[in-house]
């Protein structure tokens, strides 16, 4: 089965105070750009066969150093796009914490409809349908690198491990972390999650 690396974008100045969502113009800060360079050392020896990215700038900017180092083209894929938080995007966390729906999001996220946006079950179907499709389009031993967003990764891992959606927020996904899945067969496998060390485990002998 192909190995799929799911990578959260690096740090930016918006992420600690507001829900960026799909807002344009959110770029990596200095720390995020350093994290993107560090990913090259982490991944260059994995010989990726394809690099995919969410269309948002912070994901593409995280992918660029690896693409340059491995001479791969970044393939922009809407299937990796951040959750559509609708009218919540751009609002500060302080503002959101006053909403009853925000409290529900942290108790029963499967029941939340983001105003003008997606539901989490709908987003999970979108994301996993896309990942299944790209896994099936590649050869058995291919390595695919996907640059995306924290909740996208959480929802995907929860789905493949049969974790209830209401528990998906228990999964930790740090900026510029790598999570590895084997997809394309009858039994998906989680190889590792939320890795930020200087070396990945051997995937292929």
Read off the pLDDT of each residue in 142-159 and give the average, rounded to a whole number: 97
Q: What is the DSSP letter of 71?
A: T
Residues 50-55: what's their mean pLDDT?
98
Please give the Cα distance from 148 to 77 (Å, whole number). Answer: 10
Span 164-188, average pLDDT: 94
Which residues are paired to 180 by β-bridges?
5, 192
**What is the percent of the chain where pLDDT is above 90?**
88
For the segment 77-96, the average pLDDT, to the nearest whole number, is 96
Q: Mean of the pLDDT values across residues 124-149? A: 96
> Any idea where the domains of the chain sit in the sequence?
3-195
Identify the pLDDT of residue 1. 86
For residue 132, pLDDT beyond 50: yes
Is residue 69 scored above 50 in pLDDT?
yes
pLDDT of residue 154: 98
CATH number for the domain running over 3-195: 3.40.50.1240
pLDDT at 203 over 60: no
DSSP-based three-state secondary structure for 193: strand
- Could you give the residue numbers annotated as active site? 9, 82
H or E segment and range at residue 49: none
Residue 196 pLDDT grade (very low, low, confident, very high; cuts 50, 70, 90)? confident
Residue 53 DSSP code: E
The sign one gets for the Cα dihedral 143, 144, 149, 155 is negative
């Amino acid at each position: 089965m192909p190995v799929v690396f799911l990578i959260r974008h690096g740090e930016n100045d918006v992420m600690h105070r507001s829900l960026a969502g799909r807002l344009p113009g959110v770029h990596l800060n200095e720390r995020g750009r350093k994290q993107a360079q560090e990913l090259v050392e982490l991944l260059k020896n994995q010989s990726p066969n394809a690099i995919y990215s969410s269309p948002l700038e912070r994901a593409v900017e995280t992918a660029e150093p690896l693409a340059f180092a491995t001479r791969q083209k970044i393939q922009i894929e809407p299937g990796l796009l951040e959750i559509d938080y609708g009218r919540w995007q751009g609002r500060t966390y302080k503002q959101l914490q006053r909403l009853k729906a925000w409290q529900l999001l942290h108790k029963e996220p499967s029941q939340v409809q983001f105003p003008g946006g997606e539901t989490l079950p709908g987003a999970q179907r979108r994301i996993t349908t896309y990942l299944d499709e790209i896994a099936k389009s590649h050869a058995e031993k291919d390595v695919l690198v996907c640059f995306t967003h924290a909740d996208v990764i959480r929802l995907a891992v929860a789905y493949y491990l049969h974790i209830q959606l209401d528990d998906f927020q228990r999964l930790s996904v740090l900026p510029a972390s790598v999570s590895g899945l084997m997809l394309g067969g009858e039994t998906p496998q989680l190889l590792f999650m939320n890795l930020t060390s200087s070396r990945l485990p051997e995937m292929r002998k």
